Amino acid sequence: MKAKPPASASNANITSLLKKGIKSAFPEDIKPMLATLVDEPVDEPGWLYEIKWDGYRALGYINMGAVDIRSRNNKSFNEKFYPVFDALKQWKINAVLDGEIIVVNDKGVPDFSDLQAWRSEADGHLAYYLFDILWLDGFNLMNLPLNERREILRSVVPANDTIKLSENFDATGSEFFELANKMGLEGIMAKKATSLYTPDLRTREWVKIKTEKRQEAIIGGYTKNENTSKQFSALLLGLYEHDEFNFIGVVGTGFTNKLQSELLQKLKPLQTTICPFKIVPDYNKPSRFRPNPPKAEVTWLRPEMVCEISYREMTKDGAIRHPSFKGLREDKKAKDVVREKPIPITEIVEEKNALHTSKVISSPGKKERKTLLNPKDETQTRNIGGHDLKFTNLSKIYWPKEKVSKRDMLNYYFLAAPYMLPYYIDKPQTLNRYPHGINGEAFYQKNVKGKVPGWIETFPYHSETDGEDKEFLLITNEASLLYVASLGCIEINPWSSRMQTPDNPDWCIIDLDPDKNSFNQVIEAACVTKKILDEIDVTSFCKTSGSTGLHIYIPFGAKYTYEDSKEFGRSIAKLVQAQLPEYTSIERKIFDRGGKMYIDFL
C-alpha cells in the first residue's frame, strides 16, 4: 500500500486556491480541530486516510522569522522539542500549521513512551508530521475544503528530515486499518475531503479508529502496598462527569523504575489530605484474581495531572479493566478530558447521507417517515441516533387558534428533519424559545454552557458586544434538532455565518416585510431589487418568508464582515425604496413607516 501520489499543482493553481481564502491578520491562538472516536473504519467514498500518529498534537506558528510551537492547551514546545523549533526557524514562510510531534522507535514505529522520555537528540529522532495548513501569507485557509488545504500544504513543505508531510493513503479504510494494526500503529484517521477546519470542535467529519482501546484519565491519587520496594504501586484514576469527579479504576502496570521516580516528582506538589473523588474508592477491594490483595496506603492528589492508558474493556458502570499506563499527557488539561465512547460508524455514514443535498432535494420516496410520538402519553422517551430524548407536556397547545399541540410540532420536526438539517450544519444557533406557545412570552437564549446534555455539540465564541465567553448550540443531527424543538423553539435561528468563519456571513439578506401592502407589491419590490443587483452583476436568490414576505439572499461566501454586509444591504435598500417611494419605507420605527412595506437588511 502506497501513499497517494501527489497531484501536480502549478504555482498558478496554488495562487488561485490561496485567493479562495479570507484575507486576515496573522492569528495567534487557534485551538485545534478534534476528531470523533468511532468503532470501525469507514469505507465510504470521499474520505482521506492518514496514520494516527502516537505523539503530541502541535500547532506551528511562523511569522516574519519568529517561531512558536504550541500544544493543544497552548503550552509552549519551543524548548522541549528544540530540533523542531530550529527546523521551523530555517523555513522561510509565513504560516500556521497543524501536525503531530513524534519519536520513532527502533522498529520504525511512533512510540509515545519514547517521546515522553525524550530529552535530547541522543534519545531518538524527532519528527513533526504536518497534516494541515490553516493560514498562509495573509490568507485564512480554514474555510477551504481539506483536499485544497492539503494541496497548498504539499506545495510548501520542505525536503527536511524533521518537518514531514503526513501522507494520505490510497486504500479503503478497512485495508488501511488492517495494515496499521499489523505494523503496531496506534490507529488511523479518516477525514472527509470536503471538511472545513473548525477550531476547538470535535467534529464527525474527522474520525479516528484505534487499534487498541485507549482513554485519557485524571490522576486522583496513588497507592503503595505494604512491604513493596516500588516507589508506588498504582495510580487511582478518574474522570469529570456532570461536574463530579468519578473513580474509574487503578493502573499498576506500564511503569519502569525510572518512570516511577519521574512521575512521583511531578505528583508530589499535588498532594492533599482530601479525597478528590465523589465517592471514596475501595482501593483494597479484593477480586477473583486477587482474593487477598496486599494492604495499601493511599496518597490523595489534586485532580490536575492527565495520563493516558490502554485497557481491555470498560464495564457497564464505566470502570476500566486490565489497564496499562502509556504516559502523562502534559499537553492536555484535566477539564478537557472526556470519556471516549466510540460511536458506530454507521451513524456517521447514515448522517452524511441524510445531509447530502441531492438526497434532500429529491423526493423521500415510497418509504415515508412515521410519527415520532404517539397521541396519548403526556411524557415519552425516544432513542434517536443513540441518544435518549425525553419529551414532556406534549398536550400543551402551542397554536390556540388552530389547536396545534407541542406533540404535533415535534412530530412535524421529525418528519421535516431530513429537509431542514443541511441548512443548519456548522451554524451556531440563537435559541428563540416559546415555552407557552406562539402567543406566550418568548425569550432568546444564546449561551448554553453547562445547560445542555454532553452529547450536544457547542461552539465557543467570545462576544465583543458584552465581552463574555459564550457557548452556542450546534444542530448537527436529528437528535439535536428535536432537542432544540423540545425546548419550545418554534422557529430555528441559525447564524448567517459558519463556526469556521464566525465573523463573516455566508450571505446578506434583503427582507421585504409588508404591512398593508398586497403581495403583488411585494413581488414588484423583489423584482426591482433583482434588477438593481443584476446591474452590478451580483447574484441573488428569492425565498418566501412567513405568509406574505420575501427574503432575497445575496451570497457572500464568507468573504466580508457583518459590518460590510450591513452597509451593502443598507445601500440596496435605499436604492429600492427610491424607486418605489409610494409604498416602501426604510424607517426602523413602525410608526414612521405609515403602513408601508419595510425594506430591512440582515
In a domain, 4, yes or no: no
Set of cell numbers at residue 265 = 516528582
Looking at the fold, whether 266 and 158 belong to one and the same domain comes out as no
Residue where a domain terminates, one of 452, 486, 520:
486
Looking at the fold, whether 191 and 45 belong to one and the same domain comes out as yes
pTM of the entire predicted model: 0.61
What does the pLDDT read at residue 2?
58
Looking at the fold, whether 370 and 332 belong to one and the same domain comes out as no
Looking at the fold, whether 292 and 390 belong to one and the same domain comes out as no
Looking at the fold, whether 43 and 186 belong to one and the same domain comes out as yes
Residue where a domain terminates, one of 162, 197, 232:
197
Mean pLDDT for the stretch of residues 396-419: 92
In a domain, 86, yes or no: yes
- According to DSSP H, which parts of 168-293 are helical? 173-183, 257-267
Looking at the fold, whether 149 and 220 belong to one and the same domain comes out as no
In a domain, 522, yes or no: yes
Residue where a domain terminates, one of 451, 486, 521:
486
List the domain range (segments joined by +) for residue 218: 214-336
Task: State the CATH number of the domain containing residue 132.
Answer: 3.30.470.30
In a domain, 385, yes or no: yes
The model's pLDDT over 546-596, given as tens digits with 9 standing for 90+, comes to 778 899 999 998 889 999 999 999 999 999 999 999 989 999 888 888 899
Asked about 332 being catalytic, the answer comes back as no
In a domain, 345, yes or no: no
Residue 22, burial from CB neighbour count under 10 angstroms (0-12, 13-18, 19+): buried
Looking at the fold, whether 372 and 328 belong to one and the same domain comes out as no
Looking at the fold, whether 28 and 162 belong to one and the same domain comes out as yes
Looking at the fold, whether 19 and 82 belong to one and the same domain comes out as yes
Confidence of residue 5 (pLDDT cuts 50, 70, 90): low
Looking at the fold, whether 579 and 513 belong to one and the same domain comes out as yes
20, 31, 52, 191: the catalytic one is 52
Task: State the CATH number of the domain containing residue 550.
Answer: 3.30.70.3300
Task: State the CATH number of the domain containing residue 317.
Answer: 2.40.50.140
Looking at the fold, whether 32 and 78 belong to one and the same domain comes out as yes
The model's pLDDT over 296-347, given as tens digits with 9 standing for 90+, comes to 899 999 999 999 999 988 887 889 988 999 999 988 889 888 888 887 777 6
Q: Is the pLDDT of residue 369 over 70?
A: no
Looking at the fold, whether 247 and 329 belong to one and the same domain comes out as yes
In a domain, 388, yes or no: yes
The model's pLDDT over 498-530, given as tens digits with 9 standing for 90+, comes to 888 888 999 999 999 998 889 999 999 999 999
**Grid-cell match 467514498, residue found:** 45
Question: b/e for 195-234, b at 16 or more Cβ within 10 A?
Answer: bbbbbbbebbbbbbbbbebbbbbbbbbbbebeeeeeebbb
- 12-15 long-range contacts (CB < 8 A, ≥24 apart) are 13/151, 14/151, 14/152, 14/155
Task: State the CATH number of the domain containing residue 378.
Answer: 3.90.920.10
* Overall domain count for the chain: 4
In a domain, 500, yes or no: no
In a domain, 5, yes or no: no
